[in-house]
């Protein structure tokens, strides 16, 4: 089977009711699955909680029941957040096989690991469980999806070299992000010899609907092209797919139009040129100029903070919101673990005396607390 680099993410499937995540439009999904397979693509990615726990069953109806098992690849994920004892792993896995209607998964992941969930996963034996599944033939490749910093990723991969791959959030906007650390995480996986599957290549749509200044630069660059598949989304997805250690880029497609566009430019994939990489950098600069905090994450502020407030990571989250309009309470919960909250700043000013960028840290922490801690 020829494996093209575009995968069908099934967490944003078309809906019959826009306000009801469980109301998947199965007939529309079937049409999309037909087109996806017909155009030579084969990788589907699902997970236990997607679409209020209906994504796996939708994959069964639209894909598993309608195509030979050797014509597609299926990835699923263990819902580690719901595991409360070792026996739960087998229970959830058996349920996932039933929901999807398959005898095995091609790729199987521990879902959404980070510092806190890694400790819990170690306690209940998550890694030995998925390794056992691989040895028994119930999965072909094992890995985990990850949302945290590169240091934590390095620890996990050092302690568990048995995994085959890791799924990371990678896009050109997050490549040098203090909060997401796409570039550092990618290089960490590469250092450990692990292939990377990419999630969020368009950052939840933020790199599809560019602000006016960024869109103007994009249109000027491609002014001489008449290819309708050249879109801001294509730049973002091709950016991720151009990385040499990336094996698959997932796109959560919600419509026939999105699928047509993505498969058009990924059918015969061409890596980004140097000029296109420069374009992505220029767009990043425009996006990052939208009211962001000029923090370089030197962490000198934390050397003197009496409440051990995680200032650089909080500012990274603030900048992400300023650029994209998206809030990540999950990251705030993780970044504040074993650290003071932004609202616990005592206004001593020691951080500002230590800051090479001369940031008004006390005021910025107030802004952050208003954004993330107010109901």
Is 334 part of a structural domain of the chain?
yes
Q: Same structural domain for residues 329 and 245?
A: no
- Over 80: is that where the pLDDT of 145 sits? yes
Q: Same structural domain for residues 159 and 252?
A: yes
Q: Same structural domain for residues 59 and 190?
A: yes
pLDDT digits (tens, 9 = 90+) for 33-44: 999 999 999 999
- Over 90: is that where the pLDDT of 168 sits? yes
CATH of the domain at 216: 3.20.20.100
pLDDT digits (tens, 9 = 90+) for 316-365: 899 888 888 888 888 899 899 999 999 999 999 999 988 878 899 999 99
**Predicted pLDDT of residue 320:** 84
**Predicted pLDDT of residue 115:** 87
Q: Same structural domain for residues 242 and 317?
A: no
Q: Same structural domain for residues 240 and 331?
A: no
- Over 90: is that where the pLDDT of 74 sits? yes
Q: Same structural domain for residues 278 and 306?
A: no
Q: What domain count does the chain have?
A: 2
Across 26-49, average pLDDT: 97
Q: Same structural domain for residues 338 and 257?
A: no
Q: For the chain, what's the residue count?
A: 375
Record the tokens describing residue 57, joined without a space: 């069953």
Q: Same structural domain for residues 199 and 245?
A: yes
Q: Same structural domain for residues 173 and 308?
A: no
Residue 305: give the domain boundaries: 300-372
Q: Where residue 209 falls among pLDDT bands split at 50, 70, 90?
A: confident
Is 99 part of a structural domain of the chain?
yes
Q: Same structural domain for residues 111 and 43?
A: yes
Minimum mean pLDDT range among 42-51, 99-108, 284-293, 313-322: 284-293
**Predicted pLDDT of residue 197:** 98
- Over 80: is that where the pLDDT of 184 sits? yes
| Mean pLDDT of all residues belonging to the chain | 94
Across 254-267, average pLDDT: 96
């Amino acid at each position: 089977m020829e494996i093209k680099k575009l995968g069908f993410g099934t967490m944003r499937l078309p809906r019959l009711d826009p306000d009801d995540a469980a109301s998947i439009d199965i007939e529309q999904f079937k049409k999309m699955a037909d087109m996806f397979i017909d155009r030579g693509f084969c990788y589907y990615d699902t997970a236990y909680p997607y679409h209020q726990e209906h994504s796996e069953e939708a994959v069964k109806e639209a894909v598993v029941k309608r195509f030979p098992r050797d014509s597609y690849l299926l990835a699923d994920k263990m819902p580690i957040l719901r595991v409360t004892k070792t026996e739960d792993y087998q229970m959830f896995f058996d349920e996932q096989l039933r929901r999807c209607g398959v005898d095995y998964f091609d790729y199987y992941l521990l879902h959404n690991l980070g510092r806190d969930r890694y400790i819990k996963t170690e306690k209940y034996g998550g890694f030995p469980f998925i390794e056992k599944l691989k040895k028994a033939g119930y999965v072909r490749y094992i890995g985990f999806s990850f949302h945290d910093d590169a240091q934590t990723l390095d620890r996990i991969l050092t302690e568990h070299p048995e995994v085959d791959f890791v799924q990371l959030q990678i896009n050109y906007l997050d490549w040098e992000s203090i909060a997401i650390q796409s570039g550092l995480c990618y290089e960490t996986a590469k250092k450990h010899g692990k292939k990377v599957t990419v999630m969020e290549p368009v950052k939840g749509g933020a790199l599809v609907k560019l602000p006016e200044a960024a869109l103007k630069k994009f249109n000027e660059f491609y002014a001489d092209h008449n290819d309708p598949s050249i879109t801001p989304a294509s730049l973002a997805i091709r950016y991720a797919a151009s990385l040499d250690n990336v094996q698959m880029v997932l796109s959560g497609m919600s419509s026939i139009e999105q699928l047509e566009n993505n498969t058009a430019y990924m059918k015969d994939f061409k890596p980004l040129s140097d000029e296109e990489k420069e374009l992505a950098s220029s767009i990043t600069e425009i996006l990052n100029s939208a009211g962001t905090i000029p923090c370089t994450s030197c962490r000198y502020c934390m050397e003197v903070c009496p409440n051990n407030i995680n200032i650089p990571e909080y500012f990274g989250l603030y900048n992400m919101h300023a650029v994209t309009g998206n809030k990540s309470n999950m990251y705030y919960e993780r970044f504040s673990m074993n650290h003071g909250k932004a609202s616990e700043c005592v206004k001593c000013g020691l951080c500002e005396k230590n800051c090479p960028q001369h940031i008004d840290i006390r005021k910025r922490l107030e802004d952050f607390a208003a954004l993330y801690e107010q109901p």
